[in-house]
Structure formats: structure tokens, C-alpha cells
């Protein structure tokens, strides 16, 4: 749950984005797009199709992902995938507006996702807290799903003439991609 101070700060940043960068910016539309991007990118990660991420993920983040994915066990890689309808909750973690040394304008929004995944993960991951599990169905058709989290940071440059695309600059799947 977002703290009231962080929520107020985020609302203020969204107001600044609408006033100074993009009068058509909508938090709801951004969140909808972020969920779709998260689902697509997480599936491509789980399928080890990193070459298809080049337009969506920054070069720096992609380099880190390539190193981590190459040593990831299959069950952890399977757990990265998030179907759009399996995303249970989404919230922004942080919103930043900044200028670089050349005067270019940027916005970064950290999104947090909670999603269900049926990958065959152990009940506890060594050195980590217990993984949340949810059982569906009756005694004959039990299905175990894990409630997992992911943090994706989206960045967009708002300098005049820049491409109006959001890029993922950081991807974290705690307990899976470490």
C-alpha cells in the first residue's frame, strides 16, 4: 500500500507532467499500457527471447537481464511470465521528473505489479522469505499458484523532438531474478 506522502508526491508529479510536458497524460492510460508492457516483456523474458526486447527495454537493462537470465533455473524463468488477466494489483512506486546535463527532460515512473503464476517453485526459496501460494479448485482439481511481485521502471524523454515512447529502464522480479 502506497504511503500518503508518496501518493501526494506522485499526484503532484502527475500534475507537473500534465502542465509542463504532456497535457494529455493520463495516469489510468499509462497504467493500462504499463500492465500490457509488463505482461509482454515478462513473457518474452520467460521464453528467453531477449532479442525481441530491444525496442522496449533500455540497452543497460537488457545487458543486466542477459546475464541474469543465462543462469536462471527453468522453473524461475517460467515464473517470470505474467498473463494480463493474472495481474492482481498494480501501483506506482515512485515518480521522478528530472533534467540531464544537456537540458533534456525525462520522466521515470516505477510500477509495482502483483501477479499469479503457476510455475513449479519450491515453497521456500533458500535464503528468502516464504513464497505466497494460493490454492484454486476443489480436492480433485487443486491448482497451486504463487503470488509474485515485479518492479518495472518506465522512462520517457519529453524533450522537444524526442520519440514519444516509454522505455523500460529497470526490471526486478524479487526472489526470481537476483
Element (H, E) at 162: none
Residue 109: name the closest of 21, 4, 2, 27 by CA: 27
| pLDDT, average across residues 20-33 | 95
- Residue the block writes with cell 524533450: 159
Strands 167-172 and 132-136 come out as unpaired
| pTM score | 0.88
Q: Give 57-82 pLDDT, tens digit per residue.
A: 999 999 999 999 988 899 889 999 99
User: pLDDT class for 136, splitting at 50, 70, 90?
Assistant: low
Could you say which of 3.10.450, 1.20.58, 2.40.160, 3.40.50 is the CATH number of the domain covering 4-172? 3.10.450
**β-bridge partners, 156:** 107
User: pLDDT class for 3, splitting at 50, 70, 90?
Assistant: confident
User: pLDDT class for 127, splitting at 50, 70, 90?
Assistant: very low
**β-bridge partners, 91:** 112
pLDDT attached to residue 137: 57
Q: Give 158-177 pLDDT, tens digit per residue.
A: 999 999 999 999 999 988 87
Q: Has residue 93 got a pLDDT over 90?
A: no
pLDDT attached to residue 27: 94
Residue 134: name the closest of 113, 111, 114, 157 by CA: 114
User: In this predicted structure, which of 6-10, 21-25, 50-54, 105-109 has the lowest mean pLDDT?
Assistant: 6-10
Q: Has residue 129 got a pLDDT over 60?
A: no
Residue 76 makes CB contacts below 8 A (sequence gap 6+) with 119, 121, 176, 177
Amino acid at each position: 500500500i502506497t504511503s500518503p506522502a508518496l501518493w501526494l508526491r506522485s499526484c503532484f508529479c502527475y500534475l507537473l507532467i500534465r502542465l509542463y510536458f504532456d497535457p494529455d497524460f493520463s495516469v489510468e492510460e499509462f497504467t493500462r499500457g504499463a500492465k500490457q508492457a509488463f505482461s509482454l516483456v515478462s513473457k518474452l523474458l520467460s521464453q528467453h527471447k531477449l532479442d525481441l526486447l530491444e525496442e522496449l527495454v533500455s540497452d543497460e537493462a537488457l545487458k543486466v537481464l542477459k546475464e541474469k537470465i543465462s543462469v536462471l533455473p527453468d522453473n524461475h524463468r517460467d515464473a517470470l511470465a505474467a498473463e494480463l488477466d493474472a495481474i492482481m494489483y498494480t501501483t506506482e512506486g515512485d515518480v521522478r521528473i528530472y533534467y540531464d546535463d544537456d537540458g533534456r527532460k525525462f520522466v521515470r515512473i516505477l510500477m509495482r505489479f502483483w501477479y499469479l503464476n503457476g510455475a513449479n517453485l519450491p515453497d521456500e526459496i533458500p535464503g528468502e522469505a516464504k513464497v505466497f501460494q494460493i490454492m484454486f479448485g476443489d480436492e480433485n482439481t487443486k491448482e497451486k499458484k504463487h503470488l509474485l511481485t515485479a518492479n518495472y521502471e518506465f522512462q520517457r524523454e519529453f524533450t522537444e523532438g524526442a520519440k514519444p515512447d516509454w522505455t523500460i529502464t529497470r526490471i526486478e522480479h524479487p526472489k526470481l531474478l537476483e
